Amino acid sequence: MDRQLDYDNVTNVLFQHSVNADAAEIHGIMCGMLCGGMSLTDQKWQSVLADTTNQGEPFSQAVSFKLEQLYSQTCEQLLEGEFSLQMMLPDDQTPINDRGVALINWVQGFMLGFGLHQQDLMQCSADVKEAINDFSDISRMEEPMDADEESEKALYEVVEYVKVSALLCFSELGRSLLDDQKDSPSVH
């Protein structure tokens, strides 16, 4: 993974520029919008993120640049599918409760982004509905975790579940680059 795009690096850039979110939440919103059906070539995502995490102010150039990199990487990972999605979470050396909070931020961000593009869950498959319900439960988790092997395993399993669920939403609702090309009028 590119060191320029890990949780700490992205979070530091956000905080240096007074953005009111960590890398997990920003990445969650981004993934949620894409998994909810936003076009991959839609450039409105930056203003949506600015509205939700930066009091509607446009991002500084440094933040914009970092987010563009993250967005490109996220689109690539979602299109690759399988297990390529790297969630923006702190590394395993970070205390477990900090990782748990980051996971909750990611899931809350995902639900926000997803909701912007997918208001009608009735049309979604049972699997997607279940994933979104589970995300809702995960986003409300408040129990502090013990720094033991059992908690580590539980957190790991929740992270993997969230990752697989996000990819499931993307495979059902997400747009491929081919979809984007169909939208633009072709010149003959």
**CATH code for the domain in which residue 124 is found:** 1.20.120.740
The reply to whether 188 falls in a domain is no
47-105 confidence digits (pLDDT tens): 999 999 999 999 999 999 999 999 999 999 999 877 789 999 999 999 999 999 999 99
The reply to whether 140 falls in a domain is yes
pTM above 0.75, yes or no: yes
Tokens of 131: 């994933």
Q: 103 is in which domain, residue-wise?
A: 3-181
Total domain count, the chain: 1
The reply to whether 187 falls in a domain is no
The reply to whether 186 falls in a domain is no
130-154 confidence digits (pLDDT tens): 999 999 999 998 888 898 999 999 9
The reply to whether 22 falls in a domain is yes
Q: How confident is the model at residue 180 (pLDDT cuts 50, 70, 90)?
A: low
CB 77 within 8 A of CB 44: no
Q: Give, in degrees to the nearest 5, the angle at Cα 84 between 134 and 140.
A: 20
**Alpha-carbon torsion angle 95, 106, 72, 185, nearest 10:** 180
Other beta carbons less than 10 A from residue 160's beta carbon: 12
CB 31 within 8 A of CB 113: yes
Average the pLDDT over 15-23 and give the result.
95
